[in-house]
Amino acid sequence: MDEMEKTILDYVIEEYLEEEDEDEVSIDSPLISSGIVDSFSMVSLKTFLERKYNISIPDDKATPDAFDTVKSIANVVRGFVE
Amino acid sequence: MSNIGSYDEVYDKFDWQQAKNELEYKDGDILNIGWFCSDRNCERGLGDKPAMIWEGFKGEIKRYTFNELRLNSNTYAAYLSSLGIKNGDRVCIFMDKIPDLYFSFIGILKLGAIAQPLFSAFGEEALHTRMENAESVAILTTRKHFRKVRRIKDTLPALKHIIIVDDDSLKLEDREKSFILEKAEQIEHFDIFPSHEETSSVLHYTSGTTGQPKGALHVHASIFAQYMTAKWVLDLTDDDIYWCTADPGWVTGTSYGIIGPWCLGITQVIYDGGFGAAKWYDVLQRHKVTVWYTAPTAIRLLMKDGTELVKQHDLSALRYMCSVGEPLNPEAVHWGIEAFDKPFNDNYWQTETGAIMIANYPGMAVKPGSMGKPFPGITAVVLDLKTHEVITEPNKVGLIALKPGWPSMMREYWNNKKVFDSKFIKGWYITGDRSSIDPEGYFWFVGRDDDVINTGGHLVGPFEIESALLEHEAVAEAAAVGKPDPVNMEVVKAFVALKSGYEPDGDLELSIMNYIRKKLSPLAMPQEIEFMDKLPKTRSGKIMRRLLRAQEWGEEIGDISTLEDD
């Protein structure tokens, strides 16, 4: 897990999970398809990423598939940071 | 040949007695929705027929027959009865779409208590508002969600039982208990509560412009409308495999995710997972779904992944598709035809109406963008916005109004007679939606007549959001309106004036968004926050929400003579 993945994972755990469920999520855990993060909550996640990395993610790149795991989210973000 | 046959012939002759006859119900009989959904099917010889094909997001599948539905709901009913829960008590269900949700819903109805489903993504404040108002006696929940209830229980004196249904290893506190269905003694026979047509059955909270959400109370007679509409609008037949994607926290998920299909003895698929286009097509394919009832927001998300993905799946079993929640835009109807070789059939109704009121029907031409025509037995008109007289001129916009008296009409807003009475003007039930009717009798939705926000097919009330915003330490004034969104039709936008000492920046915006998401729900979360020095108000100090909304929609601002001067 690299630093970006850890940052995103920590944020997901902090914002979307109860404290007792922290160990249940990894960078490969499905977030959207499992219902941990629903499509409405994706907006706040996208906002966090844009602020944190000073990027703008077009809506067509912020899809439920692209945001389904921490790993895939980090891949999306890297595409805009570099 | 569809169930309804010729709409025009049926509409002219229809009487709700037909539903009673087909359900073999005579006036004065015991009428219990729970019994109709389970026991009656067993008596009809459907005991071994699958009632529920449940699939979790990890792919695990569980199947339950109607006899297992009967036994499991009996077991829930008996357990709740053993706790002292009785007729009329409000029993909340607060969990993901797991089998226990469905068994307990039926069990609560068999007991004669009132089922109060709650959307599983509700935050503590949204939960508290609804449970306090209803003075809910019990809540059935899960390991994943019970801590929200624990955190608010001390402010809910009526709440006696917090029942966790999927884990009996937790360290429990006062009023908490666990109940594991698989470990409980299965109850072969349960004495169904002798409910009648007007016995209360289901309590669904729904948002309005003013005040907190109101509890729309339904009765067991609603089954006559849910039965008939499931048969004629969804066209459900004995061999169908049906999938309703709605969560039972919302009325679609109970009226057509439980009662409608099961009182007809139909097998239904229940998928407990989030949204994913490929996954959804996979569910349709593997389970050979024949009738699919979903929502415009989901359809527009599916559109984003294109038709190619659809064509990669064998959906040859799928014969009929319906949509509800908000008007289905023409583009989505056309896309449905392109992708599935058949249209999504839009229909219209509300939490308060309990069943579909206006719809497209099999065999009737779909006009993309229209919600269709009134269901047989429903008199629907549009009323002049000012005089509330019936508009007879085609294509003129007015308020959609329904003649009261259909079986599934809510009987009250819980403990709120004043607001309930305000929904009826000149003998009509006023929906709060605007529409026109074309010369062929098709209804065309125009918009809400009030400030309620319809986001993703769910209504959220600005008052509830604004009240929560004002509880944020940084917020001095707040207004919540809907702003256009290509997928969700509308999303919440908040206008906020900050208290002294707080600076408007991206971090604060995110903080407020997450605050509302966790306090209320993801639906209520503002997807954009605009900071202002002060909000536009009337001279009497009332925030002019409609002015802010008009700006978002590019509409005429209208009369601002009462606007407070700068």
My answer on whether B265 and B236 are in the same domain is yes
Over the stretch B219-276, which tens digit does the pLDDT of each residue have?
999 999 999 999 999 999 999 999 999 999 999 999 999 999 999 999 999 999 888 8
Give the H or E element holding residue B167: none
Check CB contact of B455 with chain A, cutoff 8 Å. yes
My answer on whether B294 and B364 are in the same domain is yes
Higher per-residue pLDDT: B333 or B537? B333
pLDDT bin (cut points 50, 70, 90) of residue A65 is: confident
Residue B459: inside a domain: yes
Q: Contact B301/A39, CB-based, under 8 Å?
A: yes
Query: Two tokens at B282?
Result: 């996979």
My answer on whether B239 and B375 are in the same domain is yes
pLDDT of B537: 87
Q: Contact B147/A18, CB-based, under 8 Å?
A: yes
Is residue B238 within 8 A of residue B266, CB to CB? The reply is yes
Check CB contact of B538 with chain A, cutoff 8 Å. no
Identify which of A34, A44, A63 has the shortest CB distance to residue B274.
A34
Please state the rounded mean pLDDT for residues B460-468. 92
Distance in Å, alpha carbon of B60 to nearest chain A alpha carbon: 13
The nearest alpha carbon in chain B to A40 belongs to: B522
Identify which of B147, B514, B522 has the shortest CB distance to residue A40.
B522
Check CB contact of A34 with chain B, cutoff 8 Å. yes
My answer on whether B384 and B516 are in the same domain is no
Q: Contact A35/B455, CB-based, under 8 Å?
A: no
Strand B138-141 to strand B90-94: parallel, antiparallel, or no bridges (unpaired)?
parallel
DSSP conformation letters of B513-539: HHHHHHHT-TTTS-SEEEE-SS--BBT
Over the stretch B56-81, which tens digit does the pLDDT of each residue have?
988 999 999 999 999 999 999 999 99
Is residue B371 within 8 A of residue B445, CB to CB? The reply is yes
Over the stretch A13-45, which tens digit does the pLDDT of each residue have?
999 888 777 778 899 999 988 888 888 888 889
Q: Could you give the 3-state DSSP secondary structure of residue B429?
A: strand
Full 3-state SS string of B345-357:
EEEECCCCCCCCC
Check CB contact of B172 with chain A, cutoff 8 Å. no
My answer on whether B413 and B494 are in the same domain is no
Chain A / chain B CB contacts < 8 angstroms = 79
Distance in Å, alpha carbon of A2 to nearest chain B alpha carbon: 24
pLDDT of B292: 98
Residue B444: inside a domain: no
Check CB contact of A44 with chain B, cutoff 8 Å. yes
Residue B247: inside a domain: yes
CATH number of the domain residue B181 falls in: 3.40.50.12780
pLDDT of B127: 97
Q: Tell me which residue has tokens 């692209």.
A: A66
My answer on whether B202 and B334 are in the same domain is yes
My answer on whether B272 and B330 are in the same domain is yes
pLDDT of B43: 98
Check CB contact of B125 with chain A, cutoff 8 Å. no
Check CB contact of B415 with chain A, cutoff 8 Å. no
Check CB contact of A15 with chain B, cutoff 8 Å. yes
Of B434, B466, B484, the last residue of a domain is B434
CB within 8 Å of B134: residues ≥ 6 apart: B90, B92, B116, B203, B205, B215, B414
Number of separate domains in chain B: 2
pLDDT bin (cut points 50, 70, 90) of residue B490 is: very high
Residue B531: inside a domain: yes
My answer on whether B69 and B163 are in the same domain is yes
ipTM: 0.86
**How far is it, in rounded angstroms, from Cα B350 to Cα B454?**
12
My answer on whether B477 and B524 are in the same domain is yes
My answer on whether B60 and B109 are in the same domain is yes
Does residue B565 surpass a pLDDT of 70? no
Over the stretch B109-125, which tens digit does the pLDDT of each residue have?
999 999 999 999 999 99
Distance in Å, alpha carbon of B326 to nearest chain A alpha carbon: 16
Does residue B40 surpass a pLDDT of 80? yes
Query: Measured between beta carbons, which residues in chain B are less than 8 angstroms from residue A36?
Result: 274
Check CB contact of A75 with chain B, cutoff 8 Å. no
CATH number of the domain residue B475 falls in: 3.30.300.30
pLDDT of B199: 98
Provide the residue type at B124 as one letter. E
pLDDT of B492: 96
Strand B458-460 to strand B453-455: parallel, antiparallel, or no bridges (unpaired)?
antiparallel
Does this model's pTM top 0.90? My answer is yes
Handedness of CA B63, B65, B70, B71 (dihedral sign): negative
Over the stretch B131-163, which tens digit does the pLDDT of each residue have?
999 999 999 999 999 999 999 999 999 999 999
Query: Two tokens at B263?
Result: 């009182």
CB within 8 Å of B133: residues ≥ 6 apart: B205, B212, B213, B215, B414, B415
Q: Contact B523/A40, CB-based, under 8 Å?
A: yes
pLDDT of B546: 85
Give the range of the structural domain holding residue B73, as residue numbers without chain letter.
7-434
Query: Measured between beta carbons, which residues in chain B are less than 8 angstroms from residue A48?
Result: 510
Distance in Å, alpha carbon of B3 to nearest chain A alpha carbon: 35
Query: Measured between beta carbons, which residues in chain A are less than 8 angstroms from residue B513?
Result: 43-44, 47
Of B434, B461, B484, the last residue of a domain is B434
Residue B357: inside a domain: yes
**How far is it, in rounded angstroms, from Cα B442 to Cα B367?**
8
My answer on whether B383 and B476 are in the same domain is no
Check CB contact of A20 with chain B, cutoff 8 Å. yes
**Closest to B536 in 3D by CA, of B525, B528, B544:** B544
Does residue B566 surpass a pLDDT of 60? no
My answer on whether B414 and B481 are in the same domain is no
Does residue B284 surpass a pLDDT of 90? yes
CB within 8 Å of B443: residues ≥ 6 apart: B348, B358, B370, B371, B372, B373, B374, B380, B382, B400, B435, B436, B437
The nearest alpha carbon in chain A to B506 belongs to: A51
pLDDT of B556: 74
Q: Contact A44/B510, CB-based, under 8 Å?
A: yes
Average pLDDT, chain B: 95
Phi/psi of residue B445, each to 5°? -65, 140
Higher per-residue pLDDT: B473 or B556? B473
Over the stretch B1-37, which tens digit does the pLDDT of each residue have?
899 999 999 999 999 999 999 999 999 999 999 999 9
Report the 10 Å Cβ neighbour count for B419.
14
User: To the nearest whole percent, how much of chain B has pLDDT over 70?
Assistant: 99
Q: Could you give the 3-state DSSP secondary structure of residue B283?
A: helix
Phi/psi of residue B340, each to 5°? -115, 0
Check CB contact of B507 with chain A, cutoff 8 Å. yes
Query: Measured between beta carbons, which residues in chain A are less than 8 angstroms from residue B295?
Result: none
Q: Contact A65/B272, CB-based, under 8 Å?
A: no
Distance in Å, alpha carbon of A40 to nearest chain B alpha carbon: 5
Is residue B267 within 8 A of residue B290, CB to CB? The reply is no
Residue B1: inside a domain: no
Of B434, B463, B478, the last residue of a domain is B434
Check CB contact of A68 with chain B, cutoff 8 Å. yes
User: To the nearest whole percent, how much of chain B has pLDDT over 90?
Assistant: 88
Residue-range domains of chain A with CATH: 3-12+30-81 (1.10.1200)
**Closest to B13 in 3D by CA, of B378, B407, B377, B379:** B377
Residue B558: inside a domain: no
Query: Measured between beta carbons, which residues in chain A are less than 8 angstroms from residue B514?
Result: 15, 44
Residue B507: inside a domain: yes
